[in-house]
Amino acid sequence: MSLGSGCLPVRRLADRFGDEAASCASLAELRGILADASIELGFDHFALLHHASLGSPHGTYVRIDNYPEGWVGELLSSGLAADDPIHLASRHINTGFAWDEVGSIIRLTSRHKAILARSRRFGLRSGFTVPANVPGEPSASCSFAVRGSARLPLERLRCAELIGAHAFRAARRIHPAAGRGERPHLSCRELQCLRLVAMGKTDWEISRILGINVETARQYVKRARAAYDTVSRTQLVVYGLRDAWISFEDAIPPSG
């Protein structure tokens, strides 16, 4: 699937990619049009992946890329993937960023700097990454890179951001995130108790806040735990955050 000639306006390029990505039936097909789009944008390499794919069995998570094989092999064999500063930065921002901005997003350690330096030895000097994070699913991103000393196509980065978002949306449709099922049903009372548990309230405190007796409060919390088959209140809160029943603001209310 070709996205057309190099004279396509960037907006049309992104729109066409979105239409084609929406009709892809396989990751292989998506890989093909993403490769075409990368070239059209002025990049040499791309990588659309769940970050966990670099440490898990093949096929469990999404990973399509054309990065240098030597660099991918080194990431997989050396354990560097877990500390990749590009992936780490993408979890701290919700817009696309150039790789030379990473130091303003996260604090770069000596290990991070060593990883970036090592990647340059494989030709991955400059790039642009689009975060692709969905609550309750593994962190992910879509990155585009140029070889050697080539400059980033600055005038097309916003288009790359749209294409990265379209690509990940298509990948999620084709290959749903592993281990994510439908969230269980919780009653209104169970949700109220979950939010109060997230705030660190005891069953007695919950009963006072909701105007119910302690045993009733205990049973609501117990039912919420049973819905998730968890054995602790901590696990219940983690699942509640994952499934967006509660937010971090619920669990950590603002001070003052």
Q: What is the DSSP string of 173-201?
A: HHSPPTT--PPPP--HHHHHHHHHHHTT-
Ranges of residues in the chain with a pLDDT under 70 are 1-9, 56-59, 177-182, 253-256
Same CATH topology for 10-174 and 188-251: the answer is no
- pLDDT, tens only, 75-90: 878 778 889 999 999 9
CATH architecture group of domain 10-174: 2-Layer Sandwich (3.30)
For residue 4, the model assigns a pLDDT of: 40
CA 116 to chain centre: 20
pLDDT of residue 74: 86
pTM of the predicted model as reported, rounded to 2 decimal places? 0.75
Cβ–Cβ < 8 Å for 141, 130: yes
Q: What is the pLDDT of residue 181?
A: 59
Q: What is the DSSP letter of 211?
A: T
Which among 249, 248, 251, 196 has a CA at the least distance from the CA of 218?
A: 196
Which pLDDT tens digit goes with each residue over 91-123? 999 999 999 999 999 999 999 999 999 999 999
Helix (H) or strand (E) holding 205: helix 203-210
CATH of domain 188-251: 1.10.10.10
pLDDT at 56: 67
Chain-centre distance of CA 21, in angstroms? 18
| Whether 146 contacts 43, CB under 8 Å | yes
pLDDT of residue 119: 93
Domain ranges of the chain: 10-174, 188-251
The confidence score (pLDDT) of residue 34 equals 97
Q: What is the pLDDT of residue 57?
A: 57
The CA distance from 44 to 57, in Å, is 27
* C-alpha torsion sign, points 242, 58, 24, 81: positive
Residue 80, pLDDT score? 80
Contact 48, 87 (CB under 8 A): no
